[in-house]
Amino acid sequence: MLDNWVVVPTCLPLVRRRCHACASARFRASGKFRVNAHHKLIDAWLLVLCTACGDTAKLTLLERANVRSVRPELLDRLHDNDAGLTAELLRDPVVQRRNRVSLDWDGAWRLDTGGAGHLEREVADVAVRFAARIPVRPVRLIAEGFGLARAEVERLIAEGNLVSAVRLGGTLSGDFTFTLKR
């Protein structure tokens, strides 16, 4: 029987970026956008706040874009400070690359295993699905899902009792499956 686990975001991740005021390295999304129009050109930013001093920084979303090239529903969502749009844009790799930032997912996700029925079985086949691109070590997920220590999970991998088509030693943010034999 295949168990389905889901890695679900619980809140918005922090943004890793250096603060110019206090040299802190973490910002939180304010959920607010700033839109500025220059005749036929438009700029848009996502405002983020330093977790240490509260200073505001801007993440560039649109820069000197022609107003007619921007979808009207996107403009409406920007003007309405849509929380869903904030989450979408924070996870967008293009926005992260343009602004030279990364996301800090510590404490911003949870593992939903669907109950404890998999704990007693001799052989457990598990499919792990990610609701968002959250980089997590598979060893950590497996340890948390089965209530084991990470060293125990490492030992099971070394003995061949925990197998997967993907490499379990690194960090993943995409779906994978594994089999645990006890």
Q: 105-127 pLDDT, tens per residue?
A: 999 999 998 876 666 778 889 99
User: Distance between CA 163 and CA 157 in Å, rounded?
Assistant: 7
Supply the pTM of this predicted model.
0.78
Bridging pattern class, strands 123-130 and 2-9: parallel
Q: 7-46 pLDDT, tens per residue?
A: 999 999 999 999 999 989 999 999 999 999 988 999 999 9
- Token pair 């925990």 in the structure block, residue: 162
Residues 6 or more apart whose CB falls under 8 angstroms from that of 9 comprise 87, 105, 108, 109, 131, 132, 134
Q: 141-180 pLDDT, tens per residue?
A: 999 998 889 999 999 999 999 999 899 888 998 999 999 8
User: Distance between CA 136 and CA 18 in Å, rounded?
Assistant: 23
